[in-house]
Amino acid sequence: MESVKLRADHLTAFYGGKPAIQDISLEFPDRKVTAIIGPSGCGKSTLIRCLNRLHETAPRTRVEGKVLLDDEDIYQLDPVRVRRRIGMVFQKPNPFVTMSIYDNVSAAMRFNGRHTREELDHAVVHSLQQSALWEEVKDRVDAPATSLSGGQQQRLCIARALAADPEVLLMDEPCSALDPIATAKIEELVGRLKTDYTVVIVTHNMQQAARVADYTAFLYLGKLIEFGPTEDLFERPKEKLTESYITGRFG
Amino acid sequence: MAGDAGRGGSSRVKFDRFARRKLVNRIITVLAGLAVIAALYPLVDLVYTALVQGGGVLFQLTFLTARNPTPCSVVSCATVGIGPTIEGSAILVGLASLISVPVGVLAAIFASEYRTRGIGRVVSFTADVLSGVPSILMGAFVYGYLVLEYPNLVESVISGSLALAAIMIPIITRTTEEALRTVPDATREAAIALGIAKWKMSLRIVLISALPGVVTGVLLAVMRAAGEAAPLILLTGFSTNWYTRPDLPVGSLPVLIYTYALQPYSNWHAVAWGATLFLLIAILVVNVLSRYTIQRMVTKMSGGS
């Protein structure tokens, strides 16, 4: 078994007094894609938002348990530093609307430290290449981010997250606002990203999980029902609930 | 035809109702129209009178730069101007803006971005209440806190601009806070997830995204301050000299209008009218220009041409 990059340890998260996820223990292997699936409201998004301490930024929220990044509890570290090591891509593309494509991608570098123009240029080009957007925008990186299509904006957001040089990339239903062609591009991209990053992807699309993920976790009503290699989970589910969900009997 | 008799009766009732509805509709339309006229009449009359009375004076080229006139009741009294007064107003409002823009904007950021523990809500409530306080009370506030401590500031640029700043701050805070609220949380989450520090996110991402609204608020406050007379009569006094020191009085357009209008000299009346027209035009120009630039900023941000 591969080494573990990120580990949730008895993680419970509250949203306004009610637990949204309960006692979840889960291991995310290094440089693999792990999918989190489950019906709406099962706590997938809450779980992924606990992994970079974003959950606690909303009012009336609370987190119990640990999340270990390289065996260090991120809840004992400075949250800003944690988020520089764990990048995130959201459900709806959320580029900074006042900024150009270039400024979006270089945002983390520009805001978080001092870099020369050459370093920024290099990082912008490299990140846009990684997110497969470079060819489409190379002659207009100074155009506003909002001039891009939805799918392009999402790849821009991936490039923006990658330019911060994270170790882990969290993706919260990154394709739910995109058309099938844009979705295919992002999925292809996820497959390539795992050579450099540990990827955690939330999806309510089971086919997507089956296509992109090495491991899959199934959540139901805030609890982890089953976790294992994607193939095993889809073809030989151990739990009855998992089986009914993947065969489409509920959800 | 005979079969229509019954229906004819009912349609007659309908017709009556319809006629009544039409009548009511017409009455309401007329009333609304009268209300519009009543609301617009003072404005139109003011602009018209200012144009008639002040136009001749204002369009003499030297009016905006020349010294204020000495008392004189003969028509042939020459060289009238409001140069020092315009300078005084600009200095007062400029200083007030230098104080109130950073304070007002930072208070709004605090209220909108750091809402935890309800302090933010207290800030916005306070700003709401303060923006309704009569300006003379702001003047009295500065008088009580500053002038009683430093009596030589009794008629000075410093105390006047502080009072104007006190008037501007709640206006800027309210409008900026509203503008910040329109920035979607998705933008904040994007910044947080990149590990950008909160103050940088607030100032350099959220505030910039809300800039058109912030600029509107600032201009609104500037125009309000430019037209204030009461606190300046109390705190800055009036002078026809060019600005020399911050602890001395300067002239200002509203106080000039107030002072000159009450004096029996015909050339002073003319100057007051000229100043009125100038103030009106200045406010109009700032208003139109700001709308235009904001429109351009918005289209630029949303990626339009």
Q: How is chain B split into domains, by residue range?
A: 85-248
- CA proximity to B247, closest of B176, B151, B177, B179: B151
- A95 to B190: CB separation less than 8 angstroms, yes or no: yes
Residue B293's alpha-carbon distances to A104, B177, B287, B288, B289, in angstroms, are: 24, 21, 10, 9, 6
ipTM: 0.91
**In B, which residues are within 8 Å of A103 by CB distance?**
none
Could you read off the pLDDT of A179-197 as tens digits, one per residue? 999 899 999 999 999 999 9
Which residue of chain A comes nearest to B116, CA vs CA?
A59
Best of B194, B206, B208 to mutate (most A CBs within 10 Å, chain A) = B194
Task: Work out the angle at residue B95's Cα, subtended by the Cα atoms of residues B123 and B230, and round it to the nearest 5 degrees.
Answer: 75
Instruction: Using DSSP, state whether A171 is helix, strand or coil.
Output: strand
pLDDT tens profile B43-72: 999 999 999 988 888 888 788 888 887 776
Look at residue B79 and tell me whether its pLDDT is greater than 60.
no
**Assessment of whether the complete model's pTM goes beyond 0.90:** no
**pLDDT score of B269:** 86
**A108: nearest CA partner in chain B:** B194
> CB–CB of A97 and B200 under 8 A?
no
Per-residue tokens: B283: 């406010």
Contacts with A64 (C-beta within 8 Å, 6 or more apart), sequence order: A10, A11, A12, A13, A14
Answer whether residue B1 shows pLDDT above 50.
no
| Residue B227 structure tokens | 């037209």
Mean of the per-residue pLDDT values for chain B? 87
Q: Does B186 touch chain A (CB under 8 A)?
A: yes
* Distance of alpha carbon B58 from alpha carbon B52, whole angstroms: 11
Contact A75, A63 (CB under 8 A): yes
Q: Which CATH class is domain B85-248?
A: mainly alpha
Write the residue in B189, B192, B195 that is nearest to A164 by C-beta.
B195
CB contact under 8 A, A90 and B184: no
Distance from CA of A80 to the nearest CA of B (A): 5
**A–B: how many Cβ contacts below 8 A?**
82
Residue B302 contacts A, CB cutoff 8 Å: yes
Contact criterion met (CB < 8 Å) for B189 and A90: yes
B294 interfaces chain A, CB cutoff of 8 Å:
no
> Closest chain A residue to B210 measured between Cα atoms?
A98
Q: In chain A, whose CA is at the least distance from the CA of B198?
A: A80
Contacts of A80 in chain B (CB under 8 A): 195-197
> Could you tell me the pLDDT band of residue B300, with boundaries at 50, 70 and 90?
low
Is 90 exceeded by the pLDDT of residue A41?
no
CB contact under 8 A, A161 and B186: no
pLDDT recorded at residue B304 = 40
Q: Best of A94, A109, A153 to disrupt the B interface by mutation (most B CBs within 10 Å)?
A: A94
The closest CB to that of A92, out of B186, B196, B209, belongs to B186
Which of A111, A165, A167 best probes binding to B when mutated, by most B CB atoms within 10 angstroms?
Answer: A111
**pLDDT tier at B117, thresholds 50, 70, 90:** low
- Among residues B239, B246, B238, B234, the alpha carbon closest in space to that of B143 is found at B234
Instruction: Give the pLDDT confidence score for residue A24 in this predicted structure.
Output: 96
Please tell me the distance in Å from A156's CA to the nearest CA on chain B.
12
**Looking at residue B295, what is its pLDDT?**
75
If one compares A208 and B293, the residue with the highest pLDDT of the two is: A208
Nearest to A160 by CA among A171, A147, A173, A149: A171
For B184, the closest chain A residue by CA position comes to A94
pLDDT at B73: 58
pLDDT tens digits, residue range B263-277? 888 888 888 999 999
